Amino acid sequence: MEKNARGVRKGAWTKAEDILLKKCIDKYGEGRWHLVPHRAGLNRCRKSCRLRWLNYLRPDIKRGYFNKDEVDLIVRLHTLLGNRQVFRLWSLIAGRIPGRTANDVKNFWNTHIEKKSKPMITQTNIIKPQPRIFSKQLVAPANWSKELNKPNDAPNIDPKNRSSTDHHASSSKTSKTDGRDENPKNNKQQPIIHSPLQEEEEVDECMRWWGNLLEITENGDGILFPQEDHVPSIVEPIFSPGFGDQSGKDYGVEDGIILSCLELDVDVWKLVSLDDH
DNA sequence: AATGACTTCAACCGCTATATC
DNA sequence: AGATATAGCGGTTGAAGTCAT
């Protein structure tokens, strides 16, 4: 077994190590990962312990094939967020799929979906959401729908080609306040000025908007609507009835959150073409 | 049966964000 | 306010399994 410079074990976990880690978590609970190796009597680093627990040992982890519902949700959410370098993208997606981890979703995307979908994603099947008013706190940018519909001239994010510098530059940019500006002053709508810098900021604004969208659905404060009658059950907490209504009318939701339809042009099953398992 | 190519996914690495002092 | 410690993220790697020849 490989060891690093400090003599800490690396590589695949053994059954015995799994048992030790599980016992430790059962006894002390999750968190304080720096203490876990010592408490568990494991010669592993805290990162390794955390990862092993979160991605493999946790009792609610679901293993095996992703079902249609799960793939559908992954594709939809990735279509919404994937081209825009959303910070915590995989965590956000995984958070909506019970029992799946960010690592699972990321691996699944990279191995199953990315290859198949890449040649098929064009500017014509990019999402076209059309909310009117989203929340009391946050106003959608004035020209956000234009931004989302314009030809995708931003470089397509290919994880294989994208440098870690790029990733971290973007993450530090968006994560400071988790993608939201808490100062209401800064959320005021501004006149549209088409300087390159302003356009970039508007795209960021779009991303904050989507980040807000995801958080609100997570908190159960808002509801989005499904495109088709047969939207699978797992998608329902996010996409509930009325989603496909193209009439443009708004849908009343409690607490001042009003959405019109959210439209997706992507036929995800053509896109993914996976067999049932 | 042998072996080389390809695929999958668990694990690691490097980095940033956040918490604490 | 700055330094340090810890948590957690996305990108990447490589061993093991599978497939094709």
Considering only residues 4-63 of chain A, list those whose CB is below 7 Å from strand B.
4, 9-13, 44-45, 47-48, 51-52, 55-56, 63
Q: Where are the alpha helices (DSSP H) in A176-267?
A: 196-219
**Closest nucleotide to the alpha carbon of A49, via C1':** B11
Which pLDDT does position A207 carry in this prediction?
Answer: 54
The pLDDT tens digits for A178-225 are 333 333 333 333 333 334 455 455 455 555 555 555 544 444 443 333
The pLDDT tens digits for A4-42 are 555 688 888 988 999 999 999 888 888 888 889 988 988
Contact yes or no for A191/A207 (Cβ under 8 A): no
Whether the predicted model's global pTM rises above the 0.85 cut: no
DSSP codes joined into one string, A7-55: --B-SSPPHHHHHHHHHHHHHH-S--GGGHHHHHT--S-HHHHHHHIII
Q: Is the pLDDT of residue A52 over 50?
A: yes
Considering only residues 99-138 of chain A, list those whose CB is below 7 Å from strand B.
103-104, 107-108, 110-112
Contact yes or no for A240/A226 (Cβ under 8 A): yes
- Please report, rounded to whole angstroms, the spatial distance between the CA atom of protein residue A31 and the C1' atom of nucleotide B2: 49
Residue A3 DSSP code: B
Nucleotides of C under 7 A from a protein CB: 5-12, 15-16
Which pLDDT does position A79 carry in this prediction?
Answer: 78
Beta bridge partners of residue A251, listed in sequence order: A259
